[in-house]
Amino acid sequence: MSTANLLTATRAPWTGKTLGLVVNPFAGMGGGVGLKGTDGSDILEEARRRGAQPLSGERAVRALTRFAKSATSFRLLTGSDDMGENAARAAGLEPIVVHRSTLGASGPADTRAAAAAMALWPVDLLIFAGGDGTARDILDAVDDRVPMLGIPAGVKMYSAVFGTTPENAGNLVSLFLEGSPAARVREAEVMDLDEAAMREDRLSAHLYGYARSPYERFLAQNAKAGSGFGEDAALDAVCRRVAAGMRPGCLYIVGPGTTMRRVMVALGLPATLLGVDAVLDGRLAGADLNERALLGLMEGHEARIVVGVLGGHGSLFGRGNQQISAEVIRRTGRDRITVISSIEKLIALGGAPLHVDTGNEEINALLSGYIRVETGPGRSTPFLVTT
């Protein structure tokens, strides 16, 4: 049945709120295998070849269950099968399918078509599971006519339209359904990064546009914030101290980002700006590693993790460093994780905690609570970590 026929066949008088759901079935598959995204059919096939598994449907279910039994009446429009229907039914909902795609062949065109179909009803809020590329496709389809909210399921999530975790995205939908003033709709940046440039270890980001999106400071993320010039000296000093304190025989897993690049520079080693490296006895043990390679290097060695904080988001694990997976963290242990951040970046979070979203409830719980963040030579501060 065509989208047009679906629209005319299932419409009925309705006085409650209408939500739309679009799931990008392939979002996030490249993260754990070190591909930094899945834009393009060739990269998707490479992710599959490396053993990547779909993640976005399960993350969508985690969000949907948070508002599935809302006291506020709503109906849910979605795409067929893995584009949303399966996740909705798994969460106990009975969705109205307004777009059908060829099973297993969903792509950006399907995302845009599904979003456009939902906007015609219209919907009060369009929810999507994916990353920055999916956000861009949704914005292309509906512009700023429909508020949108992302369930974080991709590798690149620099845009300000995402919940901090799938659960928090669902909680934000609940507030929206209730009409709570806490879930105000704001203009939010939709950012996008060039995946090809990322694979060449170059950061090429630009502002794609603005969307309307519900926001609550502890449930939704801001766009990524960079570091100011005044932070450089303190960051350089603390990174030199961390590098000098690395123990012989211990494998150090160094996360992505400009702060971690300072650690590698202090060691006199090349750094993968947007990937995960490993250091052993002052030498580079591996560059731009995926989860499998990290687990292999950990065999027979005590391991430690050194990571930075993703500015604006306040993300510790689960954004851009999915290679440092729940299993890598489990084998390392919470007490062997070093976090480095400028104090200015922490202040910019406005009192919000750091977030972890490893996809594993046990590891998320292990990481939750206060963790000490190194902010300068001889200076650190305890900072709350939540899911």
Instruction: Give the pLDDT band (50/70/90) at residue 314.
Output: confident
Superfamily of the domain at 3-215: Probable inorganic polyphosphate/atp-NAD kinase; domain 1 (3.40.50.10330)
pLDDT digits (tens, 9 = 90+) for 74-89: 999 999 999 999 999 9
Domain with CATH 3.40.50.10330 in the chain: 3-215
Eight-class DSSP state of 114? H
Residue 94, both tokens: 């009975």
The one-letter amino acid at 96: I
pLDDT digits (tens, 9 = 90+) for 232-281: 778 889 999 999 999 999 999 999 988 999 999 999 999 988 889 999 99
Residue 313, both tokens: 């988001």
pLDDT confidence of residue 45? 59
pLDDT confidence of residue 204? 54
Nearest partner of 253 among 202, 319, 302, judged by Cα: 302
Q: Within 10 A of 223 (CB to CB), how many other CB atoms are there?
A: 17
Give residue 111's Cα distance to chain centre.
18
pTM above 0.75, yes or no: no
Burial class for 381, CB neighbours closer than 10 Å (0-12, 13-18, 19+): middle
**Cβ atoms of 223 and 255 closer than 8 Å:** no
Which residues pair with residue 152 across a beta bridge? 130
DSSP codes joined into one string, 140-200: HHHTTSS-EEEEE-SS---STTBBSSHHHHHHHHHHHHHT-TTSEEEEEEEEEE-HHHHHT
Nearest partner of 173 among 219, 111, 222, 223, judged by Cα: 219
Phi/psi for 173 (5° steps) reads: -60, -40
pLDDT confidence of residue 367? 97
pLDDT confidence of residue 195? 55
